[in-house]
Amino acid sequence: MKMNRLGTSGLLVSEIGLGCMSIGIEEETATAIIHEALEGGVTLLDTSDLYDGGRNEELVGKAIKGRRKEVVLATKVGNRRIPGQEGWTWDPSKGYILSAVKDSLKRLGTDYIDLYQLHGGTLDDPIDETIEAFEQLKREGVIREYGISSIRPNVIREYAARSSIVSVMNAYSILDRRAEETVLPLLEEKRISVIARGPLASGALAANRQPVKALTDYELAEIVELREQLKALTASGRSLTQLAIRYSLSHPAVATAIPGASSVSQVRSNLKAADCDALTGEEIALVRRVSKANLYKLHR
C-alpha cells in the first residue's frame, strides 16, 4: 500500500483508507471490517462523534485496541446533541470543541487523536475561535493535526487562508467532480491534502452492483449509461470499483481516498485498487470526456 503525507505534516496515511460510517452497529461485523482493512495495509480510519450517536467511535476504538500505533485515527466534531432534544445542533464554538474532544477520546479508548476535523462549517461561524480551539488542542498534545470536512468552497478558502489545517475532506468521484473547479487547485497550491470521500458515489460506481437512485446532476439512466461508457477502461482487468478509486486518487492534491464498506468482501474489493496502476493522462481524459464537469451552485 502506498503511503502519502497529509499536507506538510508528519502524518503518513495509506492512499486508500476506510470510511467507518457504514460499518454498522454490531461489534463483531464492525471489528471484522476494520481488521480486514488493517491487514490489507490501511492505516487511516475515519469516524465521527456524529455517527450512530457515538457508537461508531466506540466500535472503532474497540477494534484498534492493542493496535493503536498502526492507525492514523481521524474523527470529527461540531454536531452537538442537546439532552432532551432530537437530532443535533451545529456548534463550532471553542468551548464545545474543547469539551467534545474529551468524550471522543473516551469512546475511542485513546489519549490522542491523529486528525481532528471540523464536521461542516459556514461563513457565519466564529472561525477564529474554532481555529483557536484546534490550535490549543494541538499544543496540548491532545491532537496531532487538524482539518475540516467540507464541500463549501467559501468555507474551505477561509480555513486555507487563516489556519494550519493539513487536510480537507471533500466529496470527489467520477460522478461528483465539483472539487476540480476550485477546491483541488486551491488546496494543491496551499499544500493542503484532500481526503476524498465517496469515491464510489454511494455504490453507484461499485462493480457487481447496480445503481438504484439518481444523484446530483445525474439521473439514474445517465449513471447506467456512464457505467457502460467506462467499460473501455476496465477491459484490461481493472474493475469499475478499482477505476473509480484510482480516479479519485489521480489528482495530485488527493492524499487518500476513503471508500466505505459494510462487509469484509467490500473491503477486499476496495483494497484491490491499491494493486492497480495509476491512471494515465489519456485514461483520465477519457473519464472526463464521458462524465460531467459538475460545478458548485451554492457557497461559491
Helix axes 240-248 and 281-290, enclosed angle (nearest 10): 100
The H or E element that residue 243 is part of is helix 240-248
Closest C-alpha among 153, 117, 157, 149 to residue 133 = 117
CB 19 within 8 A of CB 206: no
Measured in degrees and rounded to the nearest 5, phi and psi for residue 209 equal: -135, 150
The H or E element that residue 197 is part of is strand 193-197
Catalytic residue among 51, 116, 218, 247: 51
Provide the 3-class DSSP secondary structure of residue 47: coil
Q: For 41-59, b where at least 16 C-beta lie within 10 A, e where not — what string? A: ebbbbbbbbbbbebebbbb
**C-alpha grid cell, residue 165:** 489545517
Any bridge partners for residue 90, and if so which?
79
Name the residue type at position 135: E
**Rounded CA gap, 202 and 14, in Å?**
21
Indicate if 146 belongs to the active site.
no
Q: Which residues are catalytic?
A: 51
